[in-house]
Amino acid sequence: MHKFKDKVVVVTGGASGIGAATVDAFWLEGARVAALDIKERAEKAPDGVRSYPCDVADETSVEATFDRVVSEIGNIDVVVHSAAVLGGSGPFHQLNLDTWNRYINTNLSGSFLVSRAAASRMVAQGTKGRIILVGSVNSVASERGAAPYASSKGGIRMLTRSAAVDLAPYGITVNMILPGPITTPATRKNFEQLETRRIFERVLPGGLPGLPTDIAAAALFLASPESRFVTGTDLLVDGGMFAQILN
């Protein structure tokens, strides 16, 4: 196995949930992994995974962290950006600018800063790399009370396309994963509620939410040589939610 042996992979949001599962998945495939997060990982990371504190909404933090990764681990081959502010924010007419900016700054501007940091170094080092952004089904459809979140994720969808077009001449692909409901430490409490379980039984053909490893597996594909001709697109990993017409 070890498809990514000696490859350097950067994962943001790597301390928990989808990010932690992605860190583990690439490590198991032989990659040298840098796990970036604003907080520490609760459980011990695999030996050989390096953890770096990083605030993806802060340009100085992102640039300095990417410089450290290159200096300490090596030239970057793959970036998986999963760090995000999650959750609803309340009715649209009651939103304030601070709330709006919190989602936009971390989710959308953070995606730009991480993607640019990765792309600039890949171009400079001549690497035909992979940039993978983790969005949401809310990139293409909104829920009530989630306007800043959905808007930030929708913006990432167009950022993916724009970056893919500009970076294609350098052999760098840029793609986006759109997860449906995924059980993580941040969502588990809500997902265990009876009302939420009943909603899943209705909107998910299989009736159950996905796991972080489902998203990590999609990232492995988009980072692989087999995805060479896949760029500027979305990969829905939603358990068939968008395929179903509700009666």
Q: pLDDT tens-digit profile of 78-131?
A: 999 999 998 888 999 999 999 999 999 999 999 999 999 999 999 999 999 999
Q: Residue 83: which CATH number?
A: 3.40.50.720
pTM for this prediction: 0.95
Written as tens digits, the pLDDT of the chain (247 aa) is: 689 999 999 999 999 999 999 999 999 999 999 999 999 887 777 788 999 999 999 999 999 999 999 999 999 999 999 999 988 889 999 999 999 999 999 999 999 999 999 999 999 999 999 999 999 999 999 889 999 999 999 999 999 999 999 999 999 999 999 999 999 988 899 899 999 999 999 999 999 999 999 999 999 999 999 999 999 999 999 999 999 988 7
Question: What per-residue confidence (pLDDT) applies to 47?
Answer: 83
- Residues carrying an active site annotation: 149
Question: What per-residue confidence (pLDDT) applies to 1?
Answer: 66
Q: Does residue 190 sit within a domain?
A: no
Euclidean distance between CA atoms 100 and 152, whole angstroms: 9
45 DSSP assignment? P
Q: Does residue 193 sit within a domain?
A: no
Contact 93, 99 (CB under 8 A): no
Euclidean distance between CA atoms 50 and 33, whole angstroms: 6
Q: Does residue 110 sit within a domain?
A: yes
Question: What per-residue confidence (pLDDT) applies to 46?
Answer: 79
Contact 42, 18 (CB under 8 A): no
Total count of domains within the chain: 1
Q: Does residue 203 sit within a domain?
A: no
Q: Does residue 31 sit within a domain?
A: yes
CA atoms within 13 A on the CB side of 212: 20
What's the mean per-residue pLDDT of the chain? Answer: 95
Q: Does residue 188 sit within a domain?
A: no
Strand order of the β-sheet with 8-12 is 50-53, 32-37, 8-12, 78-81, 130-134, 173-179, 234-237
Range of the domain at 38: 8-182+214-237
Q: Does residue 17 sit within a domain?
A: yes
